[in-house]
Amino acid sequence: QDQLQQKIICPGPVTCLTASPNGLYILAGVAESIYLWEVSNGNLLAILNRHYQDLTCLCFTDDSSHFLSGAKDCLALVWNLYNVLQAEPSQIPDPRHVWSRHSLPITDLCCGFGGPLARAATASLDQTAKLWEISSGELLLSVLFDVGIMAVTLDLSEYHMFCGGMDGSIFQVDLCAWPVQRDRTFQTERENGKVFKGHRNQVTCLSVSTDGSLLLSGSHDETVRLWDIQSKQCLKTMNHKGPVTNAFIVLAPANIRHLHGTESSDEPGAEGVTLRLGLHQQEPGQSYLEKAERMYSQMYSTREKNLVGDQEHLTIQVSELEEEVSNLRKINKDLFDFSTRIITKPAK
């Protein structure tokens, strides 16, 4: 049977669009409003009007429980999807958090892993990228650059934040750098080993591979570039006939048609290019579901190992502290016994 097609008419130009990871909902930014639809039947579930200027970006948390919105009014809002769905039609629900620390329009948003406990990154024309905690709404890190930031993303382990600038540079920010500073300045001349150079115009989108080894970037210079993160070398350049507005890395189904290099589609009017990574590493006869399951198991085992490693480190620290306390108690007892003998020693 033919699949049912849904056509949704929007009241104006759509400036940003995203779908929930569970595939149940679609969000769109139209002027100052956020529209929420249910995918299965196309019903409009909510219209949120809490921004004062046009929407620029939207993104969901990985568990689809929350979503973030950014706009030209310099605000980034965090919404609880359950509260939005449960609100009365006549009421506009309040966002869970209102982040107002940017001074110029928000250009991009990115959520890490962890659902409501995840961290989120925001980019802005005010030349800063900021890292936030969704659960508390607190600002964790603010990095100042010498150019406006147009795109931001995190690697899977959240050790690094990648920021695309208006001048075509891509900056790698170490989130585990020591000493820990909430306000940091990225000085390009001192951190040449953490800058990807190659684009000739502003970077519009960034995406990191699941294993954290590759970075994909799109730019208004009409190219998409694939980078090796470790060496900062460009591995492949794909040319387009106009500014690139979006590019991302996904786990591709086995039956999708894959294009290599700058090969273009035979379909008239097609403007997209799909690049299949690591063909030489593909295992024969393995289905997409098997590969996806293997990739996700590796991904979550890495996170579990990190957690287990933290727990083991904490256990060692506790053991060391307990041993230190035991030694101090012994020293204190020896001092007490010595003092007692001196004080109670009978005079000759």
Q: Quick one: 221 and 304 in the same domain?
A: no
For the chain, what is the HEC assignment? CCCCCCCCCCCCCEEEEEECCCCCEEEEEECCEEEEEECCCCCEEEEECCCCCCEEEEEECCCCCEEEEEECCCCEEEEEHHHHHHCCCCCCCCCCEEECCCCCCEEEEEECCCHHHCEEEEEECCCEEEEEECCCCCEEEEEECCCCEEEEEECCCCCEEEEEECCCCEEEEECCCCCCCCEEECCHHHCHHHEECCCCCCEEEEEECCCCCEEEEEECCCEEEEEECCCCEEEEEEECCCCCCCCCCCCCCCCCCCECCCCCCCCCCCCCCCECCCHHHCCCCCCHHHHHHHHHHHHHHHHHHHHHHHHHHHHHHHHHHHHHHHHHHHHHHHHHHHHHHHHHCCCC
Name which residue leads in pLDDT, 154 or 274: 154
Answer whether residue 283 shows pLDDT above 60: no
Q: Quick one: 101 and 224 in the same domain?
A: yes
Q: Quick one: 157 and 69 in the same domain?
A: yes
Answer whether residue 231 shows pLDDT above 80: yes
Q: Quick one: 198 and 87 in the same domain?
A: yes
In a domain, 263, yes or no: no
In a domain, 9, yes or no: no
In a domain, 269, yes or no: no
Q: Quick one: 213 and 306 in the same domain?
A: no
Question: Which tens digit of pLDDT belongs to each residue from 52-108?
Answer: 999 999 999 999 999 999 999 999 999 999 999 998 877 889 999 999 999 999 999
Answer whether residue 297 shows pLDDT above 80: no
Answer whether residue 135 shows pLDDT above 70: yes
Q: Quick one: 292 and 233 in the same domain?
A: no
Question: Which tens digit of pLDDT belongs to each residue from 250-265?
Answer: 876 655 555 544 444 4
pTM over 0.75: no
pLDDT above 70 covers a percentage of the chain that reads 80
Q: Quick one: 72 and 195 in the same domain?
A: yes
Name which residue leads in pLDDT, 294 or 43: 43
Per the structure, the count of domains in the chain is: 2
User: Among the listed ranges 72-76, 133-137, 250-254, 304-308, which one has the minimum average pLDDT value?
Assistant: 304-308
| Predicted pLDDT of residue 265 | 45
In a domain, 278, yes or no: no
Name which residue leads in pLDDT, 291 or 280: 291
In a domain, 60, yes or no: yes
Print the domain residue range for 313: 288-341
With bands split at pLDDT 50, 70 and 90, how would you rate the model's confidence at 178? confident
Q: Quick one: 98 and 189 in the same domain?
A: yes
| Predicted pLDDT of residue 348 | 60
Q: Quick one: 247 and 297 in the same domain?
A: no
In a domain, 78, yes or no: yes
| Predicted pLDDT of residue 317 | 76
Q: Quick one: 156 and 246 in the same domain?
A: yes
In a domain, 277, yes or no: no
Mean pLDDT of the chain, nearest integer: 85
Question: Which tens digit of pLDDT belongs to each residue from 183-211?
Answer: 999 987 777 679 999 999 999 999 999 88
Question: Which tens digit of pLDDT belongs to each residue from 11-26?
Answer: 899 999 999 999 999 9
Name which residue leads in pLDDT, 297 or 316: 316
Q: Quick one: 95 and 190 in the same domain?
A: yes
| Predicted pLDDT of residue 233 | 93
In a domain, 246, yes or no: yes
Question: Which tens digit of pLDDT belongs to each residue from 209-227?
Answer: 988 899 999 999 999 999 9
